[in-house]
Chains A and B, each alone.
Chain A
Amino acid sequence: MKSSEIKEALSASEGLEEIGLADTEELKSRFFVFSVGDLLFALPPEAVHEIIAGLEVYPLPSCPPYIPGLVNCHGQPYTAFDLRVLFENERQPAAMFLVLKLEQDNVAIGCTEVNEIVDLPASSVSTFAAADADGRFCLAMFDHGGQRVLVLSIPQLLAQLEQDLG
């Protein structure tokens, strides 16, 4: 079997293993809050499929620094993101990974701690100005316990990766 045939056969069977659709665009008043070093991020709870601790990261060639490699989630390769590299240009070893529910891609976000699920009134969530540097990868922000929490935009993260990979 040639590599092209293997690729074709794997592509044909891939759709069967997809997880269900997730609407990560829709802003909810309920957020799943997690830490990456000192940074706090949030996602809609329904965007997170699973939290897995202690995954080894396998290196990949030619990827931007915020992609440390692949992780093995139940036998499937997932692209690992290091958000601290994106936001602070520093590496952050991940204690656990948030496995996202996405239709088109396998993505896991490294984090150091899973904090809590918070319910917030919509008025306490502010959107970013388009020119805000942090806003490139975020839909909104809110204050929680005196700390700023950034609501991640997964489509923006994936768009950045696509752009960086050319």
Chain B
Amino acid sequence: MADTPEVFLLDYGRFDILLPAGDFGELISGSELKDLPEYGCPACLLRGRETRLVWLDNFVSHLLPAVEAETSGLPTFFVVRERRTEEAVLATYRSFELLTFPLHELKLLPAGLRKRLGLLGLVAVRFSTADRLQYLLDVSSSGSTATGRDREKTA
């Protein structure tokens, strides 16, 4: 197992979101899709199959306060690696970069919070050099890829 995992880093202003690259099988640029789904749309057609669509800004807004959705330019679609029988696509208009961090720089949440926040998709954190917090998300888990509306129903 690699001890320097690759992550996609997305800048959310006061914090960063890290997405493990290993969770995704493919990235599709918005320019490659003929019919772009509208922002907020909970599903898209991926190779002719209806697939759950999670907008990252929506997902983050449900986790952390004061996130303004970015909807300009072309989105990127992160195709979540298939788990069980379900497939999902994570979409964002935000720019991102692919980085590697030593594994030991990622820290699991304190034990008392781990289970609950893990269900929401928050797996670990990293304190960056500027004392800025980076949240490592697992948006591919079945519970955490639910849309905001779905999660409100189950709350």
- A interface residue numbers (CB < 8 A to B): 1-7, 9-11, 13-14, 56, 58-63, 67, 70, 72, 75-79, 104-107, 158, 161-162, 165-166
Closest chain B residue to A62, Cβ basis: B120
The complex places the Cα of A32 from the Cα of B117 at a distance, in Å, of 32
From DSSP, what is the main secondary structure of chain B's interface residues?
A: mixed
From DSSP, what is the main secondary structure of chain A's interface residues?
A: mixed
The complex places the Cα of A5 from the Cα of B2 at a distance, in Å, of 9
Q: Let me know if B112 and A79 touch, CB within 8 A.
A: yes
Residue numbers in B under 8 Å from A1 (CB-CB) = 1-2, 5-6, 20-22, 103
Residue numbers in B under 8 Å from A162 (CB-CB) = 112
Q: Let me know if B103 and A6 touch, CB within 8 A.
A: yes
Minimum CB–CB distance from A65 to chain B (whole Å) comes to 14
Number of interface residues of B (CB under 8 A): 42
Closest chain B residue to A3, Cβ basis: B138
Residue numbers in A under 8 Å from B63 (CB-CB) = 61-62
Q: Let me know if A9 and B20 touch, CB within 8 A.
A: no
The complex places the Cα of A61 from the Cα of B120 at a distance, in Å, of 8
- Interface pairs A-B: 8 shortest CB-CB: A1-B5, A3-B138, A2-B22, A165-B116, A61-B63, A106-B110, A58-B133, A79-B110
Minimum CB–CB distance from B84 to chain A (whole Å) comes to 13
The complex places the Cα of A60 from the Cα of B122 at a distance, in Å, of 9
Q: Let me know if B15 and A161 touch, CB within 8 A.
A: no
Q: Let me know if A62 and B116 touch, CB within 8 A.
A: yes
Chain B CB within 10 Å, residue with most, of A6, A61, A62: A6
Minimum CB–CB distance from A58 to chain B (whole Å) comes to 4
Residue numbers in B under 8 Å from A79 (CB-CB) = 110, 112-113
Instruction: Mark out the residues of chain B between 92 and 135 whose CB falls within 8 Å of any chain A CB in the assembled complex.
Output: 103-104, 106-113, 115-118, 120, 122-125, 127, 131, 133
Minimum CB–CB distance from A43 to chain B (whole Å) comes to 18
Q: Let me know if B1 and A105 touch, CB within 8 A.
A: no
